[in-house]
Amino acid sequence: MFEEMLRALVARGIRFVVVGGVAATIHGSARYTNDLDICYATDPENLQRLVELLTEWKAYLRGVEPGLPFILDARTFSITPLLTLVTTHGDFDLLDRVPGVGGYDEALARSEEAQIGSVRFHTISLDALIDAKRAARRKKDMEHLIELEALRALRDA
């Protein structure tokens, strides 16, 4: 599921950085996640590619009654900083900025390269992920933070 989603994003030339639970997994988290979170570049070409992919994946708003008017175009991205979608390929969250880190450029600057199969992509670094969790300060982030900080201590030991 995630490999397929990442492959499609890369194949389309979409500029993104993996953040959230999948990034935590890549850094060694034992928590399960069922959605892919990305921070995307907001230039018009990138947004258009995302729109095309999401249209193909029949993206719709997650947790909202079916059948409501949902307009998926580049403008939607510019006025909706956080899109939480369900798609034919799995749940997919798109952010234009990561709390505590910044937009795509800042996230990219604090990312590492990762690879699954032949797919190479950028994932946010463990330090940046910890900063993001600290900045978000939701209860679940605080719980996750304990695990991420333990992972960093184990990694650096």
**Residue 33: partners with Cβ closer than 8 Å, 6 or more residues away:** 20, 21, 22, 24, 25
76 makes contact with another protein (CB under 8 A): yes
Q: Does 96 bind another protein (CB under 8 A)?
A: no
Shortest Cβ 56–another protein spacing (Å): 19
**Is residue 10 part of the contact set for another protein (CB under 8 A)?**
no
* Positive or negative: CA dihedral 70, 104, 24, 146: negative
Report how far residue 134's alpha carbon sits from residue 144's, in angstroms, rounded to the nearest whole number. Answer: 10
Cβ nearer to another protein, comparing 15 with 144: 144
Joined together, the tokens standing for residue 43 give 């230039």
Residue 118 is a binding residue for another protein (CB under 8 A): no
Residues making contact with another protein (CB under 8 A): 1-3, 22, 25-30, 32-34, 61-64, 68-71, 75-76, 79-80, 82-85, 90, 93, 114-117, 123, 134, 136-143, 146-147, 149-155
